[in-house]
Chain A
Amino acid sequence: MTKRLLTAALLLAVSVIPAHAAKTSLVVGMPIEPPGLDPTVAAPVAIREVTWVNLYEGLVRIDKAGKVQPLLAKSWEIAPDGLTYTFRLQEGVKFHDGSTFDSADVKFAFDRARDPKSTNAQKQIFAPISSIETPDPATVVIRLKETSGNFLYYLGWGDAVIVAPETAANNAANPVGTGPFKFKSWTRGDRVELTRNADYWQKDKTKLDTVTFRFISDAQAQVAALRAGDVDAFPNLGASELFAEFQKDARFKAVAGNTEGETVAGLNSAKKPFDDVRVRRALMHAVDRKTLIEGAYSGFGQPIGSFFSPNNPAFVDTTNVVPYDVEKAKALLKEAGYGDGLSITIKSPQMAYASRSAELLSAMLSEAGVELKIIPTEFPAKWIEEVFKAKDYDMTIVSHTEPLDIDIFARDSYYFNYKNEKFKALVAEAAKTTDEKARFAKYAEAQKILAEDVPALFLFQLPKLGVWNAKVQGLWENSPIPSNDVTEVSWTE
């Protein structure tokens, strides 16, 4: 009898202890499910949001302030001519399958990514590389054909993480990296589960034992999951109008941060009347960005006048280059020969920010005598086919979420059909410039050219509306790179 009582008391004591300890599991909600789990072979942002720095690691990483930090490379030297990078690697690092990480893996990963057959989404990262040498297991020497001002920064992206030759081919379904979390399971249409990597090279860095990413596309369902406690954090909540309720609720932390997503209404510059810069400027003059943000995103999001993220240190404010001025818009249209009105179409994806913006643009442009007809166009499949590939459109609207992607306006084959040789030369020059100040100056000039030339209506920076349990710490408030870094997340008591 005493024995049984004792056992019962013990059991009770044991069961009580974990209740006092902080939680070690985290459920993160995401609006979109990744198509695979290998960020080195495909573009979707959702892949990075699950895997980057959680599962896979690169030589360097981008931190929450957007700065480059060492990771698998503990240090590096750049030769004075800017053409040779020597990386010293961390030692004692193991992949999740138990194999050792060394310089041969780095060479393999980068050669695989820059191979002509590779489907890596950001091949410009590897384009300057001429050769990769591995003098010893802990040293990698990368030689460049030409200087690259952003080379180190790019190596911090998900596209440049290090994968092992034995496992790389299966990474999309069964990812193996060197990160603090290992892949456990993937229930398609529902969730991806990660568990703590006990052999992680940075001992005790992470506090969590399990991380679950759940995929919930419907905004109402996202809110319900947060309220019910099924999801601990939604770093990118779908509906801005529901965000305000969380701001008032003490159980949650609601943070309106920035992303790298410039929301722009692209104009088909090869097509009449958009080949006339006066028409493009007139359309921009007709748009009241502040009101647009109010209506489309409940006032969250920063107005932009060009194609550069306000998070980037090289950003310059260009919203006053072509300001809101309906009279000016009418005058310019008249000058261009459209004084009697103009009728154009916009192919608008179904995402709330896009379809709402399209409706508001339609109302604003009508004030300037422009009829804007909306053609709902399903994203991504139909949009990619009609707008991105066939370039069969007048105007469209989408948010471009890659960091530092101003060069898309310098690409001849890109869907804007924008051709400006001066701009092209400037952006190419900037990418090669290793001196930071000189590079920033060139980017500033490039931003001004776009602001004046209006190859797209520059609208607003997509905000990151994050909501999480008030006891969760260590999630990013801004998104200088698409990610859900949970490596430093913990629960308070």
Chain B
Amino acid sequence: MKRSRIPLNSALVVGGVLTALLIVTALVSLVWTPEIPTRVRVVMRLKGPGEAGLLGTDHFGRDVASLLMAGAWNSLAIAWPAVLLGAAVGIAIGCAAAAWKGIADEIAMRVSDVVFAFPAVLSAIMIGALLGSGPLAAILAIAVFNVPVFARVTRGVALQVWTLDYIAAARAIGKHPLRITWEDVMPNIAGALIVQVTTQLALAILTEAGLSYLGLGIRPPNPSWGRMLSDAQTYLSQAPHLAIAPGVAIALSVLGLNLLGDGLRDALDPTLKGRGAPA
């Protein structure tokens, strides 16, 4: 039987399809939505799915399907930069800790422990409340709790690589730890980090929804899944579709990214197959 370079598994396929759907929806929303998402038509308010538009209208008569599509882009526009920023800082700290060990390692890991001790969403809310509302504040808030996650994962896998013989050889010939990290360690830990990025993206989308739900994320009238959910709350008995639509969108996106992460981990590291994710 022919083996592809990345072996397919069901988690990878389902996760990949859901994630692709999210990204495509977000990208399409930039050039086309059924209606202008922010267009208010109060006379058309609270119409059910099919009555007006595919998914009905909200309490201002805005088209829910268009809001969802634009919300997908806004969600990713916060989650991606936040995770990349957190990953960049975290990976740098983790690599440094693994390369130099000793007191620097201790300090980096204990500080990480402190930040890590707060539940992700809670720390994002605290930081969000300090920085105020708005997209930049949300990105920073989400990035902060990503730093220790990446620092620990990176340090863990990098330490293993540093014990290998060819690293010892590289050190023996006087190669600088920075070069070793870049040329020898990174390629070996990239897989684990990519898996971590996918999982953290799912958490970032969830957190962004949480922040917007509390009024700390994307500013109105810019569409956001979290705020759609919070707006829908008091209309639950009259117009349940207002809560179901963003709820399902958030659930599917998070599920997709998590499955993709699991699938990638299994595919990239067969030794981990069937075991739990590394902490």
Query: Which residues of A does B touch, CB under 8 Å?
Result: 219-220, 239, 241-242, 245, 291, 294-295, 350, 352, 355-356, 358-360, 362-364, 373-376
* A-B pairs with beta carbons under 8 Å apart, 20 shown: A220-B233, A220-B234, A239-B234, A241-B234, A242-B234, A242-B237, A295-B45, A295-B61, A350-B215, A352-B234, A355-B220, A356-B60, A358-B220, A359-B60, A360-B40, A363-B60, A363-B221, A374-B220, A376-B219, A376-B220
Q: Which residues of B contact A362 (CB under 8 A)?
A: 220-221
Which of B39, B133, B216 is packed against the most chain A CB atoms within 10 Å?
Answer: B133
Q: Which residues of B contact A358 (CB under 8 A)?
A: 220
B42 touches A373 (CB 8 A): no
Q: A291-B42, A375-B134 are in contact. List 11 more A-B contacts (CB 8 A).
A: A219-B234, A220-B234, A241-B235, A245-B237, A294-B45, A352-B234, A355-B220, A359-B220, A362-B220, A375-B219, A376-B219
A295 touches B42 (CB 8 A): yes
Main SS class of interface, A: helix
CB of B220, distance to nearest CB on chain A (Å): 5
Main SS class of interface, B: loop
Question: Bound state CA distance, A219 and B236, in angstroms?
Answer: 12
Q: Which residues of B contact A294 (CB under 8 A)?
A: 42-43, 45
Q: Which residues of A contact B234 (CB under 8 A)?
A: 219-220, 239, 241-242, 352
Task: Closest A residue to B61 by CB, please name it.
Answer: A295
Q: Which residues of B contact A242 (CB under 8 A)?
A: 234, 237
Question: Bound state CA distance, A111 and B43, in angstroms?
Answer: 55
Q: Which residues of A contact B40 (CB under 8 A)?
A: 295, 359-360, 363-364
The 8 A CB mask of B13-54 against A (1 = contact, 0 = none) is 000000000000000000000000011101101000000000
A360 touches B238 (CB 8 A): no
Query: Which residues of B does A touch, CB under 8 Å?
Result: 38-40, 42-43, 45, 59-61, 133-134, 215-216, 219-221, 233-238
Question: Bound state CA distance, A350 and B215, in angstroms?
Answer: 8
Which of B42, B43, B215 is packed against the most chain A CB atoms within 10 Å?
Answer: B42
Q: With contacts defined as CB atoms under 8 Å apart, how many contacts are there between chain A and chain B in the complex?
A: 58
Give 3 nearest A-B pairs by CB, closest first: A363-B40, A239-B234, A295-B42
A363 touches B219 (CB 8 A): no
CB of A291, distance to nearest CB on chain B (Å): 5
CB of A225, distance to nearest CB on chain B (Å): 15
B60 touches A241 (CB 8 A): no
A374 touches B38 (CB 8 A): no
Q: Which residues of A contact B233 (CB under 8 A)?
A: 219-220
B235 touches A363 (CB 8 A): no
Task: Closest B residue to A363 by CB, please name it.
Answer: B40
Q: Which residues of B contact A359 (CB under 8 A)?
A: 40, 60, 220-221
CB of B29, distance to nearest CB on chain A (Å): 19
B42 touches A360 (CB 8 A): yes
B221 touches A241 (CB 8 A): no
Q: Which residues of A contact B236 (CB under 8 A)?
A: 220
Residue of A220, A241, A363, A376 touching B238 (CB-CB under 8 A): A241
Question: Bound state CA distance, A355 and B215, in angstroms?
Answer: 10
A295 touches B60 (CB 8 A): yes
